[in-house]
Structure 1
Amino acid sequence: AIALANALKENSTLQELFLGGNLITDRGAQAFVDLLVDANCTLQIIDLTDNNVSQDVLEKMNVLLARNRNGSPMGQVAGLFMRLNSNDPALKHLYVNDKEIGNKASKRLAEALSKNTYVTTIDISSNNIGDIGAISFGEMLRENTTLQSLNLKNNYITSSGGQSILTALHHNSTVTELELGDGVLGEMEQLQLEILLARNRAGQEMDSLAHYTQRLSENDPTLTAINLDQAGDDGLKMLSGALLQNTVLTELFLTSNDITDKGVKHLAVALEMNKTVREVSLYGNSITDCGAMMLLYVMQTNKTVTFLDLRKNEEVSEDLLEKLDLLTKQNRMNHTVQKLAVSNAVARLQANDPSLTDVSLNYEYLGDEGAMIYAGALKENTYLANLNLSHASIGDSGAQILASAVHNHPTLTCLSLAWNDFTRIGVTAVALALRKNKVINELDLSGCRGEDAGATALLELLLYNKNICKLSYDETGVPDCTIANIDQLLKRNSKFNTSFLT
């Protein structure tokens, strides 16, 4: 080992040295450490496994090797070879683009990948691997069973190397994404490549379909959502059969799956029995009014599904879409009422819990029915300080009911009803209700379509109420003079309201 280390002092090209399974001790290993101290040493890997070398010396050597590896593009790649050869389960994505790898190193990389069972993504673009490297990767594709995505663009690969990759794909069933770059394959060869990749994607989709069907049948408690791309009618039939007894799944998304009325028939039967699925997307399929009518019939009695998307099915009429939307909307309302009936926040508001000072239901669907429940609870409460019911699908009726509940609330200082569905009617109702309120100092009505009439009501609110120092509202359709006057009154209020400023 000492003699070899001395000889390597004159070498300026060697990067890897494998001496595992010998009788090297600390004395010989130290010679390699001394060699690595020289900044001109190019070694990036020294393998001394199964020798009699202490951990202390190995650590010193590894620090110097890491310095060399990090100092060049190839050095950064060198460490990956060891992880590939050891089949490191943590190495799943390999990005070595633009690292000056060349055809020889790419051949070694391909050989290491042939036996690897964890890497799923490789980007080796812009490395000048040429046809030699492409042929090596073609051989790798015949053996590897885990790789899914391979990028070989900008590598000076000609039709010869491209043909090697194409031929290998006939024997590979896992790669679903492969990029060779423009001009590598002819028009017919490129079409053949796309067909092979589509075949692999379809095969994986069927594997996923069988996997999901089994888990549904077993009532797997962790399977609450399914999202597939190429299920088709046969796939939907399989899933629907498993859904008959399933009590866990809540979301089923099958957008653009070439599903027709034939598949919908099986889903309709499943939805008659299933009591847990809440969201179903059949967006962008080939369903007609006949299939939509089957679902409409089922939705007359199904009280669970709150979202059913049949858009972009060109042969489904707008009339049927509207009828289905009304039924799912009714289910959403009923679900909201049931949920709020046992809501901890509502119960605590009604019980006037002094520790409950903040309620935030941002992005929770309430609708007017939910707003009514909260309004009723607020009338019994004297401790709440902050109420956020934004993005809750509250309409004009809900806004009016809430306005009557908060108009004289003794402790509420911050109210957010932003991005709801009410118009100038709801905005005006809130503005009128808060005219004599002496507590609220922050009001957020952003995204609510108040327009000129709603903004005028808010302007009049600020004329009466000097406590509100922060107001957010939708300025769409509001004259500049009204906006300026509102800003002026908010500045006036801020001067009077020292507690808000502090």
Structure 2
Amino acid sequence: RGWCKAEVEWSSARSHSEQNRWIDAPESQQRNEEESEGEQEPELLGKVPMAPEIFEKEMSSAAFTHRSDAEEVKKLQFKVFLQKVSECEEALLGLLPEGQLGQLAKALPYFKKLRVLRLRDFKVGRAEAGEFAKALASNQTIRELEIRALRRFDLGLGHAIAEALKTNSTLTSINLEDNHMGEEGGKAICEALKTNSTLTSISLKDNHIYDEGAQAICEALRCNSTLTSVNLEENQIGVEGGKAIGQALKTNSTLTSIDLKDNGMGEEGGKAIAEALRSNSTLTRIELTFNGIGSEGGKAICEALKTNSTLTSINLAGNFISEQVLAKIQKRCRLAAPEAAKAWTGRVRIEALTQKLKVLCNPSELSFEFEWCPLDVAQVKAICEALMRNSTVTSINLTWCSMGDEGAEAICVALKSNSTLTSIDLRLNDMGSEGGKAIGEALKTNSKVTSINLARNVIRVEGGKAIGEALKTNSTLTSIDLEQNNIRDEGCKAIGKALKTNSTLTSINLEQNNIRDEGCKAIAEALKTNSTLASINLQLCGIGLEGAEALAEALKSNKTVREIKLFGNDIPEECEQAWAVRRARERFPKPCPP
């Protein structure tokens, strides 16, 4: 009814969308306590205000007790809309369903005083992404923009935002964190930065742009003359990306702050940064936490700081750098959070811990953890030597120990002879292709491990191929997690080939691996013959309609898969292929067995 629609519109003109979610929840989302007992709370979606001209069209088909009320409602809506929207200086809009971004594009010209716009956790279609970008390109008021945690990052939106940045002349800060835009999205944004002349700050944290995206950033930094702050935290740029950043910092003369935390740059990447610090004269702050730089990389940075006179803050926590080197660095530059750095980089008293492994453990204590404890190669080898002798420990957690390839190789030697370990967690260890190959080699002969977690390393294509080779012969592994390893379609093809004959694996996680349609097709082909896999995670992999179609076709004959996760791919929810996958998944309403 007309009056009801008008009330919803007046409510949606608030500056924060969460303020109107409960008030305007549709009847289908409103339930009494008796009906909702024991059920999950419904999701209450956000809404943006409707431009007056759009509202007028809506009212022409709305129901009124007295038709003459329609004109009064239009006038009132226009008055309330202008009153709230024209004075709004900061807006936070979240949980928006598809279609709302397009509506915001039409309403944006009415926000005459809007300086800060934050868009979080929303869905977007390609057409409306273009509409919003056009509105943003011509906008003359917004200074700070945040587009964060998209439910499904559409490359169309990435390219659209990039196009807007080429012509927008007022934005000074943009936050694109946690969008998993990948290399292509990163490249598009970087291309725009080459010509943009107003942005001073950009955050691309946790977007999986990898080394190619980092190289694109570097190209932009060579041309851009306004950016002063860049955040590239958690992008897995690796050694090559670190080298590229180093090259860019040698010539860039505007950047004062850069965040490179948790990127697996290693010793060589650290040395490249050090080389840049010798000549760079503008950088005052750099964040290098958890990059596996090591003492040699630390020494190079220390040497560079002898001549650098502008850097005032550097964070090197979690990098295997000896306390002596850190002390020298601290004399020349203020170490960020020095106490934390000391706690993370000082030598861990590992001998006493490994001694527990060398003797017969209490049968009730069958797991061991070194989680979040940076270890150097010697310490990892000490643990491995103990594991080779121990006959009771069944589970070990080495998450975020920054052991790198050498540490991984030591672990693999232990796995070849240990006969009791069934579960091993090696997440977040700066493990590269060589480490991935070593793990693959060990899994060919190990006959006890049933679960291995290699998430958030950087084993890349070669490591993925090695894992694929191992899965052809391994007959005990039931679960493997390869999330965020950038194995790409070639690595995925090797794994898909192995899954055609593997008869033990029940769960595999390939989330955020850049596998796209070709890699997805390889998995789909394997599902036609595989009879053990029950759970597959393919979220945020850049899969499009072709990959979804291949999966849907494979699921017609596959009778064991109970769960396929496809969130965050380039597959419209309403498309036939997505429905086919969903129908196949719904054959098994119960969750997968552990």
Tell me the TM-score normalised to structure 1 length: 0.32
Tell me the TM-score normalised to structure 2 length: 0.28
